[in-house]
Amino acid sequence: MKYVDAFRDGALAAGLAQAIAREVEPGRDYAFMEFCGGHTHAISRYGVADLLPRTVRLIHGPGCPVCVLPVGRIDMAIRLALARPEVTLCTYADCLRIPASDGLSLLKARARGADVRMVYSAADALALAERMPEREVVFFAIGFETTTPPTARVIELAAQRGLANFSVICNHVLTPPAIEALLAAPAADSPGRPRLAGILGPAHVSVIIGSAPYAFAATRHHMPVVITGFEPLDVMQAVRMLVRQVNEGRAEVENEYTRAVTPEGNRKAQALIDAVLAPRPQFDWRGLGSLPASALRIRPAFAAWDAEVKFGLEDRPVPDHKSCACAAILCGAKAPTDCKLFGTACTPETPLGACMVSSEGACAAHYNYGRFRDPAGA
Amino acid sequence: MSCPPYARPLDLRDGRVDLGHGAGGRAMQQLIAQLFARAFDNSELGRGDDGAVLPAPAPGERLVMATDGHVVSPLFFPGGDIGSLSVHGTVNDLAVMGARPLWLAAGFILEEGFPLADLARIVASMAGAARAAGVRIVTGDTKVVEQGKGDGVFITTTGIGALPAGRDPGGARARPGDAVLVSGTLGDHGMAIMAQREALGFESAIVSDSAALHGLVETLYAAVPAEAIHVLRDPTRGGLASTLNEIATQSGVGMMLDERAIPVAPQVQAACELLGLDPLNVANEGKLVVICATESAEAALAALRAHPLGAAAARIGEVSADSRCFVQLRTTLGGRRMVDWLAGEQLPRIC
């Protein structure tokens, strides 16, 4: 396939793998965190780890929006959908199976009579509201900066069209504060977490925000960052660039994904987000705890389309399953196989933790693609 | 039917299914006589009795029976419709047992209000598919459910076929060293359906591969010794991934596939990329998986390729010894990964 096959070429990969192997220095540990779940998925799906030297370790980070969403937010949506028969709750597919309180998920709430629907885009949710004026259509919006502009746009459109039966539960989160939290946390706060030598920066997120917002990682934390695409050769090239930064003692924000990412990002999308959404003072992240200015809410001017305001929804924090290691896995402090529940009580069919739900989650990626590497009987 | 109890013909242009068409009375009789019996046109059905009287198989042959429910949405899609699909589905279930499909029974669950014109199209398509496959639809059943309690039309087909002596393919017969073949490109049916769904809204030229596979199976048996063919399957729901995992589990073996050898049409690959889906998880309705002794693999592949339905056949890997029954893949990149069962429903990724 044109424009895609070129980034999955086995011969190029073999050449790149040799180059990386030549460049890694003996005795050095290259622990790189791929922040984004999209990278985790690509690395697992193409078996990228098989091509890298053993001292280059790729560690999953908190960049999967499904995985970092706290249970309380899903509970909020379920309570609304079950309590208000006039509500049609729609969301992206991955959100439907996230385990919530009382053994429920949005899918299970649907089986109990809630009108829950899967949509492919925010625009589909808006169209549903226009087609069903007698229903209250609520879009459960989730994602990092990548999926935020479409949410902002549908709120703007609903306002322009005076669409009174449409509203949004906004769960959009921001990448830089999460990276800041990871880098600022003293190692003592996350025992087991390896000393990171570099970060593979997000692809689609950076298309929106650009490469400039990661500068703090390099300047304040002396952490090399390479923004990279989701194709396996992109990832390998970024690994090579990080290896070089480490070897040369540099800490810079470099951009491997120049075909899509600029330093300033997509200004139009940023302006749209800014017009409709504003930072929340605090937001809970699974794995990272409560982080200031790390998520977005709907501005008061658009309160009529803010489901949290419209339906008086309450955000009640809920602790994670006691034995679930999602929080530690999301910070790189544990591997999926370190979790007692992995592959036994927690599987893609019966996920107990969020990391097993999304195909971008560390546990689902390892379960679906990497289990053969585990010792037999594990 | 020399004494029809109804005065006016069924309105196949503007009429709609109503509850009377499933009530067992005159309206139902008219639907059967003027639509089903006329389209399927065979003496067994024409008798109008409660069942079909069928001849016993030839000496040495055994009977194979299979059934399949069809609930596809949309009902009409590029490359087929629920009618032809309901014939192909059961014919293929018989074919991959090594059997020659002979007879079908068809059960219709119709939703009140469904246009009779659409039903007539579906029935004509079923009749055409059955004729092309050389099977007869010899008995059936019709029920009507209230509006909102169905999805237009559900069709269940049950088939009977004859299994010639010496043939015994089965999911538990894969052995380490066996070759894994597929008869053509994967994921065509699932992506054709998905591309048609209103919510997706992208233009696509993807056509379903819905087809009857028994001719391909006969070609295969003509080319290689029957005992060399260990497993035959049609990778429908769950795609190739689930089919191979089923076989691996049944046989207690593993498999190692080569991603570069697995045929996927460029437009299917592109649509899968767009939605974040894996073509190995996407449904097929006209593809055959063959697991055969390695010494017969090239002859089997040549036979498949000589048939119109197997022109893009490929040898995609081999069966391995693995107590954990893992199906693995060497990626185009040169790495390795598992090809696992589809977990739940295949869902697009967020970003």
pLDDT digits (tens, 9 = 90+) for A92-134: 988 999 999 999 999 999 999 999 999 989 999 999 999 999 9
Top residue of B273, B281, B337 to mutate, by most chain A CBs within 10 Å, is B337
Going along chain B, which residue ranges are E strands? 62-70, 76-77, 80-81, 100-111, 136-145, 153-163, 179-182, 229-233, 254-258, 289-292, 314-320, 327-330, 336-338
Q: Using a CB–CB cutoff of 8 Å, tell me whether A10 touches chain B.
A: yes
Alpha carbons A36 and A165: distance in angstroms, whole number: 34
Three-class SS of residue B147? Answer: coil
**Structure confidence at residue A72 as a pLDDT band (50, 70, 90):** very high
User: Quick one: tokens of B110?
Assistant: 């119709």
Between B109 and B351, the more confident residue is B109
B216 vs B271, more confident: B216
Instruction: Report residue B202's pLDDT band, with 50, 70 and 90 as the boundaries.
Output: low
For residues A163-169, average pLDDT: 98
* Interchain CB contact of A378 with B (< 8 Å): no
Question: What does the pLDDT average to over A213-218?
Answer: 97
Measured distance CA(A363)–CA(B343) in Å, rounded: 13
Average pLDDT over residues A188-208: 87
Which residue from B286, B284, B285, B289 is spatially nearest to B301, judged by alpha carbons? B289
**What backbone torsions phi and psi does residue A306 show, to the nearest 5 degrees?**
-95, 110
- The residue-averaged pLDDT of B133-158 equals 96
Note the pLDDT of residue B140.
95
Q: Which residues contact B231 (CB under 8 A, 6 or more apart)?
A: B169, B170, B171, B173, B174, B247, B251, B289, B290, B291
Average pLDDT of chain B is 93
Q: Is the pLDDT of residue B195 over 80?
A: yes
For residue A377, pLDDT over 80 is answered with no
User: And the tokens for A177?
Assistant: 């504060």
Write down the number of H helices and E strands in chain A. Answer: 15, 13
**Least confident span in A17-21, A145-149, A314-318, B302-306:** A314-318
Burial of A233 (0-12, 13-18, 19+ CB in 10 A): buried
Cis ω before A263 (30° cut-off from 0) = no
Query: Taking the alpha carbons of B244, A363, A296, A205 in that order, is the dihedral positive or negative?
Result: negative
What Rg, from alpha-carbon coordinates, does chain B have?
Answer: 21
First-to-last alpha carbon distance for chain B, in angstroms, is 61
* B258: its two tokens: 């080569």
Q: Is B233 helix (H, G, I), strand (E, B) or coil?
A: strand
Determine the pLDDT at residue B76: 95
CA distance B195 to chain A (A): 12
Q: Which of A218-232, B20-34, B283-297 is predicted with the least confidence, judged by mean pLDDT?
A: B20-34
Task: Point out the least confidently predicted range of A146-155, B47-56, B221-230.
Answer: B47-56
Note whether A17 contacts B334, CB cutoff 8 Å: yes
Cβ pair B204, B85 in contact under 8 A: no
Mean pLDDT throughout B184-193? Answer: 95
DSSP structure string for B188-226: HHHHHHHHHSTTT-------------HHHHHHHHHHS-G
Distance CA A257, CA A228 (A): 5
Count of all residues that appear for chain B in the document: 351
Instruction: Give residue B349's pLDDT.
Output: 59
Mean pLDDT for the stretch of residues B206-210: 94
* pLDDT, position A2: 61
User: A1 to chain B, minimum CA–CA distance in Å?
Assistant: 6
Tell me if chain B has a CB within 8 Å of the CB of A38.
yes
A280 inside 8 A of chain B by CB: no
Closest partner residue to A10 (CB to CB) among B276, B332, B343 is: B332
Q: Supply the pLDDT for residue B342.
A: 82
Q: A117 and chain B: CB distance < 8 Å anywhere?
A: no
> In B, which residues are within 8 Å of A368 by CB distance?
338, 340, 343
Q: What is the pLDDT of residue B197?
A: 72
- Label residue B142 by pLDDT band (50, 70, 90): very high
Nearest chain A residue to B260 by CA distance is: A10
Contact of A232 with chain B, judged by CB distance below 8 Å, is answered with: yes
Which residue on chain B is closest to A97 by alpha carbon?
A: B344
Asked if B200 and A120 come within 8 Å (Cβ–Cβ), the reply is yes
* Chain A stretch 58-77, residues whose beta carbon is closer than 8 A to a beta carbon of chain B: 65-66
B57-81 pLDDT, tens digit each: 999 999 999 999 999 989 999 999 9
Q: Are B241 and B280 in contact (CB under 8 A)?
A: yes
Q: What is residue B205's predicted lDDT score, i.e. its pLDDT?
A: 82
Q: Say yes or no for a CB contact (<8 Å) between B350 and A204.
A: no
Could you list the beta-strand ranges (E) of chain A: 30-36, 56-63, 87-91, 115-118, 136-143, 166-172, 198-201, 225-227, 253-255, 277-279, 282-285, 289-292, 296-298
Contact by Cβ (8 Å): B210, B79: yes
Q: Sorting pLDDT into bands at 50, 70 and 90, what band is A185?
A: confident
Q: How far is CA B15 from CA A185, B11, B18, B21, in A?
A: 71, 5, 9, 11
pLDDT value, residue B347:
61
Is A48's CB within 8 Å of B335's CB?
Answer: yes
One-letter amino acid at A182 equals L
Amino acid at B106: A
According to the model, what pLDDT value does residue A210 have?
98
pLDDT surpasses 60 at B292: yes
Q: A354 at the B interface (CB within 8 A)?
A: no
Q: Identify which has the larger pLDDT, A50 or A319.
A: A50
How confident is residue A4, by pLDDT bands cut at 50, 70 and 90? confident
Closest C-alpha among A51, A22, A47 to residue A371: A47
What angle separates helix A232-248 from helix A37-46, to the nearest 10 degrees?
Answer: 110
Provide the pLDDT for residue B344: 65
At B35 the three-state DSSP class reads helix
Looking at chain A from residue 122 to 151, which residues have their Cβ under 8 Å from any Cβ of chain B? 124, 142-144, 146-147
Split at pLDDT 50, 70, 90, the class of B348 is: low
**Residue A217 pLDDT more than 80?**
yes
What's residue A53's pLDDT?
A: 97
pLDDT score at A3: 66
CA distance B148 to chain A (A): 15
Query: What share of chain A in percent tops pLDDT 70?
Result: 97
Q: Spell out which residues of chain A touch residue B336, defining contact as CB-CB under 8 Å.
A: 47, 50, 372
Q: What is the mean pLDDT of residues A195-202?
A: 95
Mean pLDDT of the region B105-126:
98
Which pLDDT score, from 0 to 100, does residue B275 have?
82
Averaged pLDDT score across all residues of chain A: 94
Residue B271 has pLDDT above 60, yes or no: yes
Long-range contacts of B27-35 (CB under 8 A, 24+ apart): B28/B142, B29/B5, B30/B4, B30/B5, B30/B6, B31/B142, B32/B140, B32/B142, B33/B1, B33/B4, B34/B9, B34/B10, B35/B10, B35/B116, B35/B119, B35/B120, B35/B123
As a 3-state breakdown, chain B gives helix, strand, coil percent values, each rounded to 5, of 35, 25, 40
d(C-alpha B289, C-alpha B313), whole Å: 10
Q: What is the CA radius of gyration of chain A?
A: 21
* Residue A132 confidence (pLDDT): 97
Q: In this structure, what token pair is assigned to residue B317?
A: 């890997």
Residue A68 has pLDDT above 70, yes or no: yes
pLDDT band at B48; cut points 50, 70, 90:
confident
The answer, yes or no, to whether residue A378 has pLDDT greater than 60, is: no
Question: Which chain B residues touch A if contact means CB-CB below 8 Å?
Answer: 199-200, 260, 266, 269-270, 273, 276, 278, 323-324, 326, 328, 330-338, 340, 343-344, 347-351
